[in-house]
Structures are given as structure tokens and as C-alpha cells.
Structure 1
């Protein structure tokens, strides 16, 4: 039934007993599943011969890992964006007063993402002020306004901070499509020249989906966020103001202000055994080249998982570190 951990690898920590864990991935084809697959292999290589780790798919909008780990159904999960995930401790923002004090972090993994609004050029609107003034009858695709969907929840706050709501859009003669959670569900239909969708609010800006929408035949305009709105959003969502540089898309000639939607948080519960938490953290740092290499063919400015990983930044989590993870980072000089 397999080889003992000590016979497979002679570097780093090992757990001689066999373990059985549940990891929460994504819907099956995105970054969370890929990250979890890497960790499962590296972890099981260093554990007892009957070790088994299951990676579960999610069905909802992306936030269910918090409750599943808190309730003990899952041992490890990922969440994004990192700043918003930190509100699980305090019950702020998307968590609406519900607190999860048992959650602990293992690492931050990089993803340089933003939240933006793109709009069809036929309306002649290049700013939020022009949208509010002209009141175009847009057909907007946006995630659901639900705590189950961090993307959808933040998207609605993003519009509200700019003085725009679904009801207001409908009063202009427009339409709001808010039934889909996943980026590809929202964005792929928009790029088709036959699509009647004329505006989109979403993240995942590094994907070909956004490139096709902005630089493809439809030539959507990325609308700069307003500084006052970004200040409101920081208070409401804990997400920082950010920018997109000129040239990010071929048609983007000037830097524009946007809302940060950065990074993945890998987290567990405080009662995860110390040896497992320590070994996972060791794997995250010491075997990171195994996952980084899977993204090296992608422009580092547009990769869905950033590289190289910086262990110092990995240790700067929005939830308290698991004590064993903190011990690893301190022992290796990544945390002072």
C-alpha cells in the first residue's frame, strides 16, 4: 500500500502516520483546484502509506469554503480576495456580522487582479459621470448580490459606490443579468458580436475573456473608478484602491484607477494538527517551483497565479496564522 514517507523523500519534514483530509477547491477547472492538486501530491509524498486527500468542488459563488472549514467538513480551503477574507474574523463586510474566529491562515498566494466596469462604446460614455448623466439603457451582466459570491457582492458595492444600482439601470430602460457567478459564465457571452449584453462588471482581468471584450471586435471601454468611490469601497469591503497601467490592454492608452481584487488566502481551522499545518506550510514554500512552473508560459503581468512566490509576502495573511505555520515562517526568517 505505498512506500513510507521516509523512503520517498529524504528532504524536509515527514509524517509517519497516514492522514485523511478534505480540501475545498473551486468548480473544477480554475486555479484553486490546480493549487490543491499540487499541495495534495507534495503532502501525501511526505505522509504515511495509506494517506488520502480528497479535493472537493464547490457549487456556489466561491465563499462556501469559509463555512465548510469552520464547520469541520473541510480541513483546508482557498478564498479570494485576501483583504475581504480577513473580515471573517470580525464579521465585517460580506460576512454581515457573522464571525469565524476559529479560522487560521497558512499562506497568501499571489494573484494580481482588479474589479472593473466595461461598457459598449456605442453609448459614448467613458466615465462614471457620463454614465450617470446620459443614463444609457445598458444590459449589464454582473454576479449575484449575495454573500455566497464575493465577486458578485463586491461588484454590486462597486456600482453603488459610483451612484449606480440595478434599479437605477432598469429605470433608464436597461436590464440587469445577475444569475451567474463564475467569470467565464459572465464574460464569455459578452465577447460575441451577436451578444446584446452591453456592459459587464467583474474581476479576472488577466483572462483572455477580458482581452477579447476590450481589444476584440466589441471594443468595450474600461471605465476608470472614481477616487471618492474607491475611498467608500475601502471602508465597505476592506479592498484597496489600485490602478491598471497603460498598455495592459492594447487599447488602454492611459493608467486608470481601479479596485484591487488581489490574492488567494489558504486557510484552515485552529485545531488542524500542528504537524500537518507545518508540513503544508513547508510544502507551500519549499516546493513552490512545482506550481510556479505551470504558469511560466504566461506573461507574469497577466498570469492567473503570480510567480515567483515570495515567502515574506506569503506570511502576511489577513487572518491570524496557524501557530505551526507561524513557527515555520519564523524559523526560516520570513517573519520577524
Structure 2
């Protein structure tokens, strides 16, 4: 992929009465970050990251201008990278693994040019349900939303059903978006929804403030079995008080968001942006709650695809890779 370059020309009259100005050319490298919808975590965090990169990255005298671009999240973002349509993107670890390996929703369509720049923050798997539903098995015969077919959420529901010895036919699948699912739960037209996002999630906060909910735990032997074959599903705890009515800690899963790119990104750019991120996490932590969960120490967690050589060089310099 050819990196986007643009030259900005500015002219100035250097002395009163001069007939010609002096042109100064400044060449910039444009660097895009594909994120998600404006109501999720990807887009606002991506915007903050773009500012960090723009303020802290220079390449052989060229200024890097980074921008966060709205998108359709993980599955679509993996496709954008595969086509070389953007320089980088946020992709959930499970989706990135499936895309590179050509499995699940990417069966027969492996994207082998995907590369990782590093792990970001854990996205909490929240199985938001009507009150009275206490465990995963309670969902049999009930309506559960999982996003559009082929999406990361849809695949996650399939993985969970398989882990608990169930099939898709055992539930009434609903393909509503996060916001639509929240409204349906509020109106009593949906029993449960899988929402994987940084917690607390604004839409779930809003729901819990006006409607009783329960967060169904995802733990025990079924989950351990799932993690044996798909280790990018990490164990986490949704703390009591995260949402109104959630009075006890809830054991569940988390999937790290990965900052990904493609193999054609020049090594010097990959190195520079990776360095800019992990050496400015304090800045991100001040402006976004999820920035507090990004660290150099966790930069390789849940990364199952090859690192970009530029990112690998940075991690070796820092001793993260020996």
C-alpha cells in the first residue's frame, strides 16, 4: 500500500514591497485509525490516540497527521486492513485471530497480511439480561441479541452456546444493534443481549438507571473449556456498582482490543506509532477511562497474529520481547 502523503504550501511576503513570496513546503504523512460507531469506545479512544500520534510522531522531517475514522468495528475493520484501505484499525482479539486464520466468519477468506501493533484495553463481555435470569442455561428458548450474522458478537454467542452444550437453535437469535437491544430489553421485547465493550458501557448505564437488569456470570467448567481452545478469551470481573442494581462482583470474560495494521505499512512508521502510543499512555489515561488500562506490560496480551516488524523492534528495545 502506498502511504498517503500530502504537501502543504504556504507563501509569505518576506519584506514590504517584494513582488514574490517564498514558498515553504511541508510534507505530511497521513495515518488513519479505523474505529467503530460514535456511541462506542473505539471512536472516542481512537480520536485521543490520533491526537497523541500527531503530537508525538515525526518521520524524517515529515509530520504525521493521524485521524480516527468511524467504522463498523472489528469484522469490517479487519477487511479494511486486508484491502490496504487504511493504515491501522482497532480489532477485537477474537475477530483478529479468526480473520488471520480463516476460521469462523472468515472461513475460506483468511487475511494473511494482518499484523499487530499491540494490545489496547480489555473489552468486557456483558451478558445483560432481564431480572430473574441468573445463569447462561436459563436462556434456552429465550430471545438473545448478538448483532448481525458474521459479526464478532454473533461468533461469540456461538462459542458460548457450544461451550454450554447448546446450539443456535436453542435460543431465539435477535440481530439488533447494541442500542436497539437496550431499547428492546427496556420495552420487554428481548430477554438478553451480549454487549462486549469497555465497561461501564454508556448504553447499559442508561438502561440500568431506568430498568432492572441482571448481568449473567460467565464462569465455571464450561468457560474453562472454552479458554483451552480459544485463549484470547480472558477472565475478568465486572465490579459491583458498575451498574445500578449490580450489587455483587460478576465473573465474566474479556476480549482485548488490538491495534492492528497490515504487512505493507513501512517499518519506520509502525515503529514510530507504536512507540508514540506506549510512551504516552499517561496522556491517554487522563482523557479516557480505558486509557488507564493500556500499558506496555500488557502490550502483547491476547495477540495471536504476527507482530509488525516495526512494533516488534520497539518491544525488543523495551525488553518486552527477549
- By how many angstroms is 1:131 displaced? 4.6
Listed as ranges, the matches of 1:62-141 within 5 Å are 62-80=74-92, 82-111=93-122, 113-121=123-131, 124-132=132-140, 135=141, 138-141=142-145
| 2:42 aligned partner | 32
Alpha-carbon distance, 1:24 to partner: 1.7
- Structure with greater strand share of residues: 2
- Determine which of 268, 272, 282 is the counterpart of 1:289: 282
TM-score, length-scaled by structure 1 = 0.73
Q: Would you say the 8 A contact 2:74–2:95 is kept in 1?
A: no
**Could you tell me which residue of structure 2 aligns to residue 300 of structure 1?**
none
Q: Which runs of 5+ in 2 are unaligned?
A: 1-7, 11-25
Write the distance in 2 (CA, Å) between the matches of 1:283 and 1:156. Answer: 37
**Could you tell me how far 1:52 is from its partner in structure 2?**
4.8
> Which region of structure 1 is more displaced relative to structure 2, 324-333 or 241-250?
241-250
Q: For 1:168-317, what aligned pairs fall within 5 Å after superposition?
A: 168-170=170-172, 176-180=173-177, 183-187=178-182, 189-190=183-184, 192=186, 194-204=187-197, 205-213=199-207, 215-225=208-218, 227-234=220-227, 237-240=230-233, 242-244=235-237, 247-249=240-242, 251-261=245-255, 263-295=256-288, 303=289, 305-307=290-292, 309-316=294-301, 317=303
Match of 2:4 in 1: none
Q: Secondary structure at the match of 2:118?
A: strand
Residues 181 and 190 in structure 2, CA contact (< 8 A), matched pair in contact too = no
Number of residue equivalences: 294
- Asked if structure 1 preserves the Cα contact closer than 8 Å seen for 2:116 and 2:305, the reply is yes
Q: Which runs of 5+ in 1 are unaligned?
A: 4-15, 171-175, 296-302
Check conservation: 1:115, 1:155, Cα contact below 8 A.
no
> Which of 50, 54, 57 does residue 70 from structure 2 map onto?
57
Any idea what the Cα deviations from partners look like across 1:83-124, whole Å, max 9, x if unmatched? 44233332234422432222211111113x332433323xx4
1:12 corresponds in structure 2 to: none
Moved more, 49-58 or 32-41: 49-58
In the superposition, relative to structure 1, how do residues 168 and 129 fare at CA in structure 2: closer, same or farther (>3 Å)? closer
Q: 4+ residue stretches of structure 1 with deviation over 6 A? A: none
